[in-house]
Amino acid sequence: MTESPKASQPILIGTQRPGHEAKAEKDRDWEPVQPKAEEEKPGPKAEAPSPPEEKPSTQEASPAEESPRDYFVAESNLEESDFSGLQPPTDSSRGGKVEVPSARTGFTADLEAEMEAMLSGSPLDEIMDSSVAEMNQEMLEEESKHKVRVAAVQPDGVIVEIAGSREQGGISIRQFSGDLPAVGDEIEAIVLRFVPEDGLYEMSIPNVAADASAWENVREGMLLNATVTASNTGGLECSVGALKGFIPISQISLYRVENAEEFVGEHFDCVVTECNPARRNLVLSRKAVLEREREEAREKLLQSLAVGQIHEGIVRKLMDFGAFVDIGGVDGLLHISKLAWSRVNHPGDVLKEGERIKVQIEKFDVDTGKISFGYRDLLDNPWDDANRKYPVDSVHTGRVMRIMEFGAFVELEPGIEGLVHISELSHKRVMRVSDVVQEGDKVEVMVSRVDLAEKKIGLSMKALTQPDPTEEEKAEEERDTLADIPEKKVPNRAKGSLKGGVSSGGSDGEKFGLKW
């Protein structure tokens, strides 16, 4: 078998092919940038070298150097005619020669002006410090409240900028029940959590419940709106969207709840205290929301309180020493001595729990927050007209209220009492007040003195009675009485001896059978 001449023919590549001998060196169609030689100038300090300038090179390429195009053609199987349509760009086609960017060259005039405008008025140290502080800024705490400025209003939410930081947050459009805020408005918002995917904080309007339709949207600490569906001995059963929850009876209100059934059908905001999707367990607390609202109202109210102000409150609890009154998140003590102008044995004699009354602030401690109220000062003061109603030497009927060692207190009217001193009880010497009067007795008294400044009235009982006569007065009276009686005349008797006989003679007893 004879070999094919094609198989024995060697395969030529590159410059081995005929007609592709090395051609003469052609001029370059690009010139390298030649840096300008630095000139040293004498002086105390060497100046910084100026940026290199590009100048067209007049030197021809050395024979050792070859054109990039020639090298590409030589190493490929393409003909030179294939590059005939490719011409280097001219200055007219590319708008002049483009300089190669270099770190040693200066900025353009436009860029210099822009950077100058950004840095104007701010030293470089402050800019660097603010940048470092921003990088080291800690994450905002959950449930923390901040002032935010509305940056944009979108169909599904509101983008806000958090004051005091460069962070931004998003608030659901459902949080706004009324009109949406405008761009630039400042509002308050609470941080719920940070969403890394969006790079934003999820935020909520204070005291506005979030929307929960699935377990993945619920977490502990968030605020939800619950609807009470039923009650039992342990608390309330409620629904939160499509979820079922439970409110323990101790978490329904700030005060003890006796009948939980009265809350069935109501809607109120609650805080999630326990969330377990695996066990379908959702525990809520309305008390936590009420405590939060009361604390916020307390802080605002404490800043505005002052002695002498009059507030309307609710009697929360009665004690032996007084009553606690709530004036809107702030409790104060109404002492028993400030309940009425008359003597009060127990606050229950004047007030009832749950009753609305008006009280006046008498004492207020800013540091401790303790408040003392007055109630009787808002009522008519009977002492204002006491001088006219109870003049000196006037006689009145009163009731003995208290007995002391030094006398008895007699109530002339509710709020006005007078003292009958022990020396004014009787003309006789009195060892004990109880020997003359008892508590509850009605007595007549005469006003002996009135002191409106001290709110004191002196009374007397003996001034209305006559003193008992002395022994001398009694003897003299007896003598006067005997002197007024006329003297009776005794008839004359017959003269002679008595018929009865005398001891010396007989008695005539024998006549009657008597033997002496």
Question: Residue 58 has what pLDDT?
Answer: 45
Rounded distance between C-alpha atoms, residue 245 and residue 280, angstroms = 9
Q: What is the CATH number of the domain that holds 439?
A: 2.40.50.140
Query: Which residues in 437-471 are b (16+ Cβ under 10 Å) and which e?
Result: beeeeebebbbbebeeeeeebbbbbbeeeeeeeee
Rounded distance between C-alpha atoms, residue 182 and residue 158, angstroms = 10
Rounded distance between C-alpha atoms, residue 64 and residue 60, angstroms = 11
Q: Is residue 324 part of a domain?
A: yes
Q: Is residue 99 part of a domain?
A: no
pLDDT band at 447; cut points 50, 70, 90: very high
| Lowest-confidence region among 22-26, 138-142, 400-404, 496-500 | 22-26
Residue ending a domain, choose from 439, 464, 489: 464
Same domain, 327 and 396: no
Nearest to 231 by CA among 254, 204, 271, 260: 260
Same domain, 373 and 386: no
pLDDT at 46 over 50: no
- If one counts the domains in the chain, the total is 4
- Report residue 428: phi and psi, to 5°: -80, 165
Nearest to 191 by CA among 211, 176, 212, 206: 206
Rounded distance between C-alpha atoms, residue 265 and residue 286, angstroms = 15
Question: Residue 164 has what pLDDT?
Answer: 75
In this structure, the dihedral spanned by the alpha carbons of residues 371, 372, 376 and 377, taken in order and rounded to 10 degrees, is -80
Same domain, 400 and 369: no
Residue 157 CB coordination number (10 Å): 19
- Report residue 110: phi and psi, to 5°: -65, -45
Q: Is residue 225 part of a domain?
A: yes
**145-154 and 168-172: which strand pairing?**
unpaired
pLDDT at 253 over 80: yes
Beta strands, E only, 365-441: 371-374, 395-404, 407-413, 416-421
pLDDT band at 75; cut points 50, 70, 90: very low
Q: What is the pLDDT of residues 254-274, one digit of tens each?
A: 888 888 899 999 988 899 999
**Which positions ≥6 away from 156 have C-beta within 8 Å?**
172, 173
Between 114 and 318, residue with greater pLDDT: 318
Q: Is residue 182 part of a domain?
A: yes
Between 159 and 106, residue with greater pLDDT: 159
pLDDT at 49 over 60: no
Q: Three-state DSSP class for 214?
A: coil
- Report residue 124: phi and psi, to 5°: -65, -35
Same domain, 415 and 439: yes
Q: Is residue 408 part of a domain?
A: yes
Average pLDDT, rounded, for the chain? 76
Question: Residue 446 has what pLDDT?
Answer: 92
| Lowest-confidence region among 130-144, 211-225, 371-385 | 130-144
Q: Three-state DSSP class for 239?
A: strand
Same domain, 252 and 313: no
Q: Is residue 223 part of a domain?
A: yes
pLDDT at 221 over 70: yes
Same domain, 232 and 246: yes
Between 47 and 242, residue with greater pLDDT: 242
**407-413 and 371-374: which strand pairing?**
unpaired
Element (H, E) at 231: strand 223-231
Q: What is the pLDDT of residues 313-361, one digit of tens each?
A: 999 899 999 999 988 878 899 999 888 888 888 999 889 988 999 999 9
Burial class for 143, CB neighbours closer than 10 Å (0-12, 13-18, 19+): middle
User: Which residue type does 452 have?
Assistant: L
Burial class for 291, CB neighbours closer than 10 Å (0-12, 13-18, 19+): middle
Burial class for 335, CB neighbours closer than 10 Å (0-12, 13-18, 19+): middle
Element (H, E) at 331: strand 331-335
Burial class for 413, CB neighbours closer than 10 Å (0-12, 13-18, 19+): middle
Q: Is residue 479 part of a domain?
A: no
Question: Residue 197 has what pLDDT?
Answer: 78
Q: What is the pLDDT of residues 82-100, one digit of tens each?
A: 445 545 555 444 445 555 5
Burial class for 505, CB neighbours closer than 10 Å (0-12, 13-18, 19+): exposed
| Lowest-confidence region among 128-132, 213-217, 285-289 | 128-132
Residue 8 CB coordination number (10 Å): 7
Q: What is the pLDDT of residues 413-425, one digit of tens each?
A: 888 889 999 999 9
Q: Which domain holds residue 418?
A: 382-464
Same domain, 353 and 397: no
Q: Is residue 260 part of a domain?
A: yes
Same domain, 264 and 323: no
pLDDT at 299 over 50: yes
User: Partners of 145 in the beta sheet?
Assistant: 190
Same domain, 337 and 399: no
Between 156 and 354, residue with greater pLDDT: 354
Q: What is the pLDDT of residues 448-492, one digit of tens each?
A: 998 888 888 999 998 888 876 666 766 777 776 766 666 665 565
Rounded distance between C-alpha atoms, residue 495 and residue 291, angstroms = 121
pLDDT at 437 over 50: yes
pLDDT at 434 over 70: yes
Question: Residue 386 has what pLDDT?
Answer: 85
Question: Residue 515 has what pLDDT?
Answer: 63
